[in-house]
A = this chain, B = another copy of it.
C-alpha cells in the first residue's frame, strides 16, 4: 500500500463525447419505442443514489428486452464509438451511472425474468434486471433463498457489477462467492458465457470474477447464474443494546474469532436507532445495538445463541430481544434496511456521503472508534451502520448538498477514515465499488502498478473505451 496521496479524489473526467446523429437514427430504426431521447427519461438515467452533483444526462436511453437487444445496442455503440452505461434500477452509491463522457444508458430493468430454478442443484439463472426481492419472492415456494442483500432492492446485474454484499455476507459470502456463471456482451457486442453450473472449475481464467466488480467497464451482464441455499430449518433473530459502540464491536470481534457461524451481525449506532425509530415507527432503545441472526438446526441455533449471549453479557450487552416468527424478523430487518432512507429523511434536502471501508476484524474497533471520535468532533450530522462481522461499516455524513463546506468536511473525514483502514490492511470499499468517487483511494490501496494492470485489461477488452468510461480509474477517451 502506498501512502495516501495529497489529492485523494481524482477529478471525474467530465468530457461528454458527441453522439452522432447517424447513431441515434440507427438506434431508432432498430429499437423504435424501446429507445428514448425524452429529457425526463434521460435525466432519470443520469443519476444514482450518490451525492454527486448533477452532470449532463446521457443522450439516449435504450430499454433492452433481450440479450440480442443488448448485443445490437452495443454493436451500434461500438461502430460509432459511443459510451454505453448499463443501468439496472439506479440504486448504486458511487456515481456508476453518471454519463461523465456522455453516450447511451442501456436500461436492462425490463429483462427481469427468472429463467430457471434448479432446486436440486441449488442454482438459479436470472436476467440482469431481476431484483433481489423479486428473486426471493419467486423462490418462496421452493424452500430456497438467495442471501445477498444490499440495502436497496438492487438488480442482480447491478449487484454483480459492484460486487455487492450486505447483511448475510458474514456467513454466505458476497457476489464474488455466489455468482456461478455469467453471460456477458463484450465491447464488440459478442455474447460470451463465462462459466458453467458446476460448483467448481479450473477451466482457464476466471472471467466470471473478472466481470463481478467490473462496474460495467468491460461489458454488459446479460444473464446471471447464482448459488441459492435451503432456507434454514431454524432461524432466530435477536437485538441487543450495548452501553457503547466499543462494547458492541468487541462482542462482534469475539463472535467471529470463535468461529461461531452467525448469519448476520449488524451494528446500528444510536443516531441511526433514533432515525429508524422515527422513520419506521419503532421504539428501539436509543443505544448502540447489534442486530443478529442465527441459521441452522433448532439445536444449532440454540447453541449459537447461547454462546453469543454469554459473549455479549461479558461486554455489558443487555435487553436481548428475540424474534422468531417471520413477521417479527422481517420488521426487525426492515428497520436495518431502511436505515439509509431513514437517515436521509432525518434532514430534509440532505444527501448522504457514505463511507465503505472494510478492515481485518482484529482492527475493527481501532478503526471505527477513532473515526466516530473525529466525526463527532466535526459536528456534521451522521449515522453509522455496519456489517461488522465482516469488518465493514458505513458512516453516512448527512450534508447539505448546497454547502461546499459541509461536503469538504465530509470528504476530509472520509479521507482520514480510508487512510486509517488502508494502514490496517483494509480496503476503501467493502461493497459499494469505486465508481467516480474512490478512484484516488483505489490508487492508494492497490498501488499504481495494480491499477495499471486493470487499465491494461480494460484497454485490451474495450479498445474504443466505450464501456462505462471514466469509472474505477481514469482513462483516456478515444
Contact = CB atoms under 8 A, between A and B. Distances in A.
Interface of A: 1, 118, 120-123, 162-165, 169, 173-174, 176-177, 186, 190-207, 209-210, 212-214, 229-230, 232, 253, 256-259, 296-297, 299-300, 303, 356, 358-363, 390-392, 421-422, 425-434, 438, 441-442, 445-447, 449-451, 453-454, 456-457, 459-461, 472-473
A304 to B, nearest CB: 9
A213 B207 contact: no
Contact of A210 (B209, B390, B428): B209
Contact of A391 (B173, B199, B421, B473): B199
Contacts of A421: 198
A460 B455 CA distance: 10
Contacts of A256: 122
Given A190-B449, A201-B429, A360 B121 contact: yes
Given A196-B426, A360-B121, A432 B258 contact: no
A392 B430 contact: no
Given A197-B360, A204-B473, A257 B450 contact: no
B300 A193 contact: no
A445 B200 contact: no
A352 B292 CA distance: 51
A192 B450 CA distance: 6
Most buried by B among A121, A190, A213, A258: A121
Most buried by B among A163, A197, A451: A197
B202 A164 contact: yes
A366 to B, nearest CB: 12
A457 B428 CA distance: 26
Nearest to A299: B299
Contact of A193 (B391, B428, B447, B459): B447
Nearest to A389: B199
Contacts of A451: 204
A53 to B, nearest CB: 23
A413 B114 CA distance: 37
B196 A427 contact: yes
A422 B201 CA distance: 12
26 contacts: A162-B202, A169-B200, A174-B200, A177-B177, A192-B450, A196-B425, A197-B360, A198-B392, A198-B426, A198-B427, A200-B392, A201-B427, A202-B430, A203-B428, A203-B438, A203-B446, A204-B442, A204-B450, A205-B454, A229-B259, A230-B259, A299-B303, A300-B300, A300-B303, A456-B461, A457-B457
A458 to B, nearest CB: 8
Contacts of A454: 204-205, 207
A197 B461 contact: no
B207 A453 contact: yes
A173 B123 CA distance: 16
Most buried by B among A173, A209, A229: A209
Contact of A194 (B213, B438, B441, B450): B450
Contacts of A259: 229-230, 232
B203 A362 contact: no
Contacts of A392: 198-200
A258 B122 CA distance: 10
A429 B200 CA distance: 9
A450 B461 CA distance: 11
Most buried by B among A197, A199, A210, A432: A199
Nearest to A181: B425
Contacts of A359: 198
A193 B460 contact: no
A34 B445 CA distance: 34
